Amino acid sequence: MASAFLIPLLAKLWQRSADLIANAAGAILLGISTYGAVYLFTVSPALTYRMGGWASTLGITLVYDHLTALVALAVNTIGLAALLFSVRYLDRYTGRWKFFSLFMLVLAGLNGVTITGDIFNMFVFIEISAISSYALVAFGTDFDELEAGFKYMVIGEIGGTAILLAIAMLYAKASTLNMAVVSQVMAGFGRTPLFWFIVATFLVGFAVKMAMVPFHAWLPDAHPSAPAPVSALLSGVFIKVLGVYAMSRVMFNVFGLSRANAAGFFNLLLAFGVISIIAGGLLAYAQKDYKRLLAYSSISQVGYILIGLGIGNYWSIVGALFHILAHALGKGLLFLASGSVEYATGTRDMDKLSGLEKNMPVTAWSHLLGSLSLAGVPPFAGFFSKLFIIVGAVAARMYWLAVLAALFSTVTLAYLVNVVNRVFFNRKEREATSAREVPASMSLAVLALVVLTIALGIGFKPVLDRLVGPAANVLLQGLGYAQGVLGR
Amino acid sequence: MVALFACMVLLLIGFYAVVTKRNIIRIIIGFSLVEYAVNLFFALVGFKRNGIPPIITELGQSRSNFVDPVPQALVLTAIVIGLATTALMLVLAMRIYEKYRTFDITEIRRLKG
């Protein structure tokens, strides 16, 4: 596992063959994370690796447990798809190798965040991927991209600094950085105001990174302006790994919060989640720019994940984690498809696009299927994730929440299908925009994600048992994380 | 103790600058202040009354009075990260100036809704 993120760093090249190395590295990463996931449920519950052989309290430990496996799979799948897509998409941009090395850095950072068991190391990796992503968002150096990049950068860095502050305070109390040992210290700590202040600071930091309302302001500008594969990565993976995963890891495993002993915190998550769903969903409906609409949709979907975590019982957490996967696939797919449209027609304004299905059937149908998945239509992946969240809500007797979740699924369906209709299928009012179908490698990437979405939906049971269920248990066992890591 | 409060004050001043100023460069300076405040706070975490710098000058020296070296190492990392961040922000600011011909954020506002 340790070498999994060294490879991308070495792939920083200064020749034209950057694409080849990048794609190869992406494929290797995916291979390693799949292998890791399989290894986990056949061999042992968790893998740990001490860097340099230092004992736990002194050195950095890498931890690969079920939650890590889940997130790593999501990260690397979308990463590879986006890489494949960029091979042709980048024909419109200059500075090709720079794109790939930045992209590799982002991937390296994301993988690092997932694997690390050391809290400062997590911060370092968060910053690595964040800074690379700021540069990637501004890659086109056009008006929109620069403005969006700058806004994103300032807001994102304030979030990062908040995380650093929280880590400083945590270290002051725990005198170690190893997450497992910190969680043991925290077990005996008690819920003083200082404890809550640290939790709050962390929450603010992570909220910025995952675009929880009201910290979401950067997302609608940054995601559309970034080159399409970057948007796919950002929306599908980045906000979830850096935001949701890091937050869950810290809150559940390090602080040992759970519904039983910290109900206030969870209600807070619920509240923010609900606001995100509503705000994101409604604002999405009003957008004219295709990718901006998708960006608001991401805010809404992250809200779903948050309520899943906020409800706090097994099924809702399973739903939340499953939704991380489903949304990564679905949104990644949609953003890549939007990139195809942009590549072929040069515009993102929905008023100007229509009737593309005639000329771009592959993209059109992939887009439709992705939209259906995200809206929660069976048998796609999104249906199951929303189902689990609703089941969890009902199990916790929060019926209003279940109703809300179902209701906003229809809103999601509405605006997504609206997009598909206007952009691809509607040919009545005006001439179909002239366009050609995009090159094969781009379509291939998009199609691969479609296939995965369908497969995840139909085959959800084995995925549930082997991958998502154990991951949820990792979160639920909270402080038991420490035993798992240190007992090795 | 006083030093820790001072850090928080510095942080708030920096944050105020980020939030209220109109000129991009001032926002970047404000952000740097926030960065310094957090790094300072972190370094101060290792402080010990009557402590000595954590450097071994002779063998067999008593080490119980050393100031905690770990935060110092971490702050070093954080400072470098802050450097990269500030550099990138400044580059973006420069490019924005080339395009928009102004540093005033109220005029750099093409993305709405």
Chain B contact for A161 (CB, 8 A cutoff): yes
Please give, rounded to a whole number of angstroms, the shortest distance from the CA of A438 to a CA of chain B: 28
What is the pLDDT at residue A488?
Answer: 39
Q: Is the pLDDT of residue B111 over 60?
A: no
Find chain A residues with C-beta within 8 A of B42's C-beta. 164-165, 167-168, 171
Chain A contact for B97 (CB, 8 A cutoff): no
- CB-count exposure of residue A370 (10 Å: 0-12, 13-18, 19+): buried
Chain A contact for B85 (CB, 8 A cutoff): yes
Record: contact B92-A149, CB cut-off 8 A: yes
Instruction: Enumerate the β-bridge partners of residue A48.
Output: A63
Record: contact B113-A168, CB cut-off 8 A: no
CA angle centred on A374, ends A372 and A375, rounded to 5°: 65
Record: contact A135-B88, CB cut-off 8 A: yes
Tally Cβ neighbours within 10 Å of residue A35.
Answer: 12
Residue A292: closest C-alpha in chain B:
B113
On whether residue B21 sits in a domain, the answer given is yes
CA angle centred on A366, ends A32 and A368, rounded to 5°: 130
Tally Cβ neighbours within 10 Å of residue B98.
Answer: 10
Q: Which residue has the tokens 């909270």?
A: A478
* Those residues with Cβ within 8 angstroms of residue A421's Cβ, 6 or more apart along the chain or in another chain: none
What is the pLDDT at residue A429?
Answer: 47
Cα Dmax for chain B: 66
Token pair for A300: 């809404």
Tell me which residue range forms the domain holding B25. Answer: 2-48+66-107
Find chain A residues with C-beta within 8 A of B41's C-beta. 165, 168
On whether residue B61 sits in a domain, the answer given is no
Please give, rounded to a whole number of angstroms, the shortest distance from the CA of A336 to a CA of chain B: 22
Q: What is the CATH number of the domain that holds B16?
A: 1.10.287.3510
Contact (Cβ atoms closer than 8 angstroms) between residue A232 and residue A339: yes
Closest CA to A413 of A251, A314, A297, A312: A297
* Those residues with Cβ within 8 angstroms of residue B27's Cβ, 6 or more apart along the chain or in another chain: A154, B17, B18, B21, B105
Please give, rounded to a whole number of angstroms, the shortest distance from the CA of B96 to a CA of chain A: 6
Chain B contact for A106 (CB, 8 A cutoff): no
Contact (Cβ atoms closer than 8 angstroms) between residue A369 and residue A336: no
Record: contact A168-B77, CB cut-off 8 A: no
- Domain boundary assignment for chain A: 2-486
Please give, rounded to a whole number of angstroms, the shortest distance from the CA of A284 to a CA of chain B: 10
Find chain A residues with C-beta within 8 A of B78's C-beta. 164
Record: contact B113-A177, CB cut-off 8 A: no
Record: contact A157-B77, CB cut-off 8 A: no
Nearest to A143 among B38, B70, B110 (CB): B110
Find chain A residues with C-beta within 8 A of B109's C-beta. 147
Please give, rounded to a whole number of angstroms, the shortest distance from the CA of B35 to a CA of chain A: 7
Rounded CA separation A205/A169 (Å): 14
What is the pLDDT at residue A259?
Answer: 57
Q: How many domains does chain B have?
A: 1
Q: Which residue has the tokens 């300072």?
A: B40
On whether residue B35 sits in a domain, the answer given is yes
Nearest to B34 among A144, A158, A292 (CB): A158
Predicted complex ipTM: 0.87
On whether residue B113 sits in a domain, the answer given is no
What is the pLDDT at residue A468?
Answer: 62
Find chain A residues with C-beta within 8 A of B38's C-beta. 161, 164-165, 168
Record: contact A286-B70, CB cut-off 8 A: no
Find chain A residues with C-beta within 8 A of B11's C-beta. 165
What is the pLDDT at residue A347?
Answer: 62
Rounded CA separation A330/A305 (Å): 14
Rounded CA separation B31/A73 (Å): 35
Cα separations (Å) of A26 from A9, A11, A33, A230, A240?
Answer: 12, 10, 11, 14, 19
Rounded CA separation B2/B22 (Å): 32
Quick check: bond before A214 cis, omega within 30?
yes
Residue A157: closest C-alpha in chain B:
B85
Rounded CA separation A406/A330 (Å): 18
Record: contact B88-A225, CB cut-off 8 A: no
* Alpha helices in A211-360, H assignment, sequence order: 219-225, 228-233, 246-248, 263-285, 290-311, 314-345
Residue B100: closest C-alpha in chain A:
A143
For B42-101, the pLDDT digits (tens) are 888 777 776 677 776 666 666 666 777 778 888 888 898 888 888 988 888 888 888 777
What is the pLDDT at residue B113?
Answer: 46
Q: Which residue has the tokens 């740097």?
A: B32
Contact (Cβ atoms closer than 8 angstroms) between residue A291 and residue A410: no
Contact (Cβ atoms closer than 8 angstroms) between residue A92 and residue A343: yes
Q: Is the pLDDT of residue B37 over 80?
A: yes
Chain A contact for B92 (CB, 8 A cutoff): yes
* Alpha helices in A90-212, H assignment, sequence order: 96-115, 119-137, 143-174, 179-187, 193-210
Chain A contact for B23 (CB, 8 A cutoff): no
Find chain A residues with C-beta within 8 A of B31's C-beta. 154, 157-158
Find chain B residues with C-beta within 8 A of A153's C-beta. 85, 88-89, 92
Q: Could you tell me the mean pLDDT of each successive run of 10 residues in chain A, 488 residues long? A: 45 49 60 57 49 55 70 76 71 66 76 78 85 80 72 84 84 73 68 71 73 70 73 74 77 64 73 82 76 81 81 76 80 78 66 61 73 73 77 77 80 79 61 55 66 64 61 59 51
Residue A288: closest C-alpha in chain B:
B113
Q: Render the burial of A425-451: b for 16+ CB within 10 Å, e for the rest.
A: bbeeeeebbebebbbebbbebbbbbbe
| Surface of A (398-427) touching B: CB under 8 A | none
Find chain A residues with C-beta within 8 A of B35's C-beta. 161
Contact (Cβ atoms closer than 8 angstroms) between residue A61 and residue A18: no
